[in-house]
Structure 1
Amino acid sequence: MKIVEGLYYSTDHEWVKVEGENALIGITDHAQHNLGEIVYVELPEEDDDFEKEESFGVVESVKTASDILAPVSGTVVEINEKLEDSPELVNEDAFESWFIKIKLNDKSELDELMDSKAYEKFCAEEE
């Protein structure tokens, strides 16, 4: 299982990469592995607002469908349109295949997320 240092992680297996006032959000390698072959990704529209822990999309695999929860609140400034035509990119590299870019509402929400070491420990305890 791949875990990238320098990112923030949620207990729902989403990752956050901060870029100034914005953040990229995706699902972790652990999540894509557990989902199996991803066949569909539903993403929000640009300018949609999401509160922390609110569903902003859906990932469907051959096994199941799962909501993607916002680990932090913000406004969508960009979606990864590549995933609409090629959802399997998430299986190929979960950390390169971000879902949305948001403008952060409150950077202090990041303090409630895990760093890579804490996330690695969380995943080990979950299994």
Structure 2
Amino acid sequence: MKIFFTNVLAYFSQIHTVMESGGSRKLVVAPKYAAVWDDVAELWFLATQAFGSCISIYPELLEPVLTSEWLPKLVKEVAMTTDSKTDSEINDVYLTLLSQLSRGHPEVKEVILTNGGLQLARSSGCAELEGALSCG
């Protein structure tokens, strides 16, 4: 199971990228997936939901989350594109995922906080994430 979720994280880390244009930044589907996004968008959405739910149930998933660069990168990328024209559904999915992850384990919460998670929660108006990061 750990190998499977390590591969899920690799997929998550590649699916979106930040594009800068005219001084603004936007979270977009990475060129590698752009041609097939319509086919994989639902898979991405379901995988993201499932992963967020699994983190509190399966503690062995913490190691891949904490040892990969995916989580800090995700927090930073979502933070730098919150006020942009990024598809709000994409940002909402990531904000929900970050909320779930921050509730899953104190070390994961600390990584999110260290990488600007609380500022992200406030700037995006995500009360769920702010609450998850502020408690305990």
Name the TM-score, length of structure 1 as normaliser: 0.29
Which of structures 1 and 2 has the bigger CA Rg? 2
Name the TM-score, length of structure 2 as normaliser: 0.28
- Greater length-normalized contact order (CA 8 Å, ≥ 6 residues apart): 1
Higher strand share: 1
Higher helix share: 2
